[in-house]
A = this chain, B = another copy of it.
Amino acid sequence: MSIRAGILGATGYTGAELLRLLSGHPGVSLEWLTSEKFAGRKIDEVFPHLRGFSDLECRSISGLKDLGKVDVAFSCLPHGSSMHFTARLLEAGVRVIDFSADFRFRNPAIYERLFGSTHKYKTLIDEAVYGIPEIFRDEIRNSRLLANPGCFATGVILGLYPLISEGLVDVGSIAADAKAGASGGGRAPSLPHHFPESNENVRVNISASDSQGPEMEEVLSLFSQTDIGISFMSHTLSINRGILTTIYSVLKDKVAPEYISGIYEEYYGGEPFVRLYASDKYPGIKDVRYSNVCGIGFRLKQDRLIAVAALDNLVKGASGQAVQNMNIMFGFEETQSLGGSGIYP
């Protein structure tokens, strides 16, 4: 079986990673890719590391006649802009995997508050599926509009989902602290991401904190009896890739570490892309970098539980999870083209 795919906004970092992963996928043929900034240039000029792997020409969306001639489109367009093309693609019968936040929220009011504009495609929100396979695999299978989760939300949700589903955690007590590589900030040059400013620095990333905090709250509240509020703060580090999130919570009742391990094992034991650590062992970013794996560890001190989740923001946090979702949606082996180990050092 082979499907045809297209990529909207292919010249950012999630696009580059998607091109790498899809170039190794035997069941996908890439038909087109768009870039307003690099329209007319070949993708292997934009990304020299792709020479020999793809020489597609970047095209402007406006002139793209073949938009509908694919089975699936990945949209790496920014929030706000993505929804328009998503709607057009769906109308043309194309299934869409949307990297933006446009269809991540079930409650459009949250979206509108966060992004300060009216959501124009409310009717599509209902059919959008939030793409964390470890939680929503069945819904993903038949979706035609998949909202690919935020990179920070993915780690926090995977870390907390079993604990909250089992009702173990005092949901008023949660704080999540993310430490993230700079590639999550995108490829557009700006002063805070200018090398000499960013290098050897650590600083708070307020915009990511404000947008993905509500995302994780809304998803996790589905599995809780009361609404969940999370004090979430993200920080930008001077590394390229990876997110390590430390999640602080208070348990309703004291339990043994083995009990927590058992819960995680129950939820994730069969998952190919979740790697569980023994109590008091923790993943580092370089244990998972360049792989689609999310590593989860924890420690327990009396009634306080600290969980640590690590993933590669461009793989499990974006393009890898998108390919995992695509594999599920089109009946490929779920691990297809995602099966490589990380790379060390």
Listed in ascending order, the chain A residues whose CB lies under 8 Å from chain B are 13, 16-17, 20, 23-24, 47-53, 172-173, 175, 177, 179, 181-183, 185, 187-191, 193-204, 206, 229, 231, 233, 235, 237-242, 244, 246, 248, 250, 272, 275, 280, 282-291, 295, 297, 299, 301, 304, 306, 308, 310, 340-345
Contacts and interface: CB of A to CB of B under 8 A. Distances in A.
A47 B275 CA distance: 14
Contacts of A344: 13, 16-17, 20, 47, 49
Given A233-B246, A248-B248, A285 B202 contact: yes
Contacts of A199: 182, 195, 199, 238-240, 345
B282 A341 contact: no
A9 B139 CA distance: 47
Contact of A189 (B179, B189, B202): B189
Given A50-B341, A199-B240, A343-B343, 17 more contacts: A13-B344, A23-B341, A48-B295, A52-B341, A179-B235, A189-B190, A193-B194, A193-B195, A195-B240, A199-B238, A199-B239, A200-B239, A200-B285, A201-B284, A203-B285, A233-B248, A238-B239
User: How would you classify the secondary structure of chain A's contact residues: helix, strand, loop or mixed?
Assistant: mixed
Nearest to A194: B189
A298 to B, nearest CB: 11
A198 B188 CA distance: 13
A30 B52 CA distance: 30
Nearest to A234: B246
A297 B204 CA distance: 10
Count of identical protomers in the assembly: 4
Contacts of A288: 49
A200 B299 CA distance: 24
A194 B193 CA distance: 6
A195 B182 contact: yes
Contacts of A23: 341
Contacts of A342: 49-50
B195 A198 contact: yes
Contacts of A203: 244, 282, 284-286
